[in-house]
A = this chain, B = another copy of it.
Amino acid sequence: MIEFHLDTASGVPPYLQIVQQVRQAISLGVLRAGDQLPTIKEVVGSLAINPNTVAKAYRELDLAGVIDARRGQGTFVADTVEGSSRRDYGPLRAELVDWLGRARAAGLDDLAIRALVDSTLRTELRLRAVG
């Protein structure tokens, strides 16, 4: 069962963080069609957040067709979603961990690391758009 986590310092509204985490989990293959999401109450229990906020996130995903909220039963990843084929990201993740180690050794803190990744992704985007 997926576990949500909130970053209060990011400035991203909590309900949006949940939306994004569900989409990311599907995108990474962590969540697949038919999987159940935690009930609103379970999320409330683990996150110290208002039930309405979770409901808002689930509702938005429901309207987008990403999940299927069934009253009385729970909330499930929609059967129609095209998830990842859940290939093994182990090697990629291992390389990433290595790189993070070198980045920290070079004196970068988390803020700087995120900045580097963000700007590199953006640069790549522009290159691909042009190319």
Contact = CB atoms under 8 A, between A and B. Distances in A.
Interface of A: 5, 10-13, 16, 20, 23-25, 27-28, 60, 63-64, 84-85, 87, 89, 92-93, 95-97, 99-100, 102-103, 106-122, 124-125
A56 to B, nearest CB: 9
Question: Which 5 A-B pairs give the minimum distances between C-beta atoms?
Answer: A24-B115, A11-B16, A27-B112, A11-B12, A27-B111
B100 A95 contact: no
Interface of chain A, main secondary structure:
helix
25 contacts: A5-B122, A11-B20, A24-B112, A24-B118, A24-B119, A25-B115, A27-B108, A27-B115, A28-B108, A28-B115, A28-B116, A84-B112, A87-B106, A89-B108, A92-B102, A92-B106, A92-B116, A93-B120, A95-B99, A96-B99, A96-B117, A96-B120, A100-B121, A114-B121, A117-B117
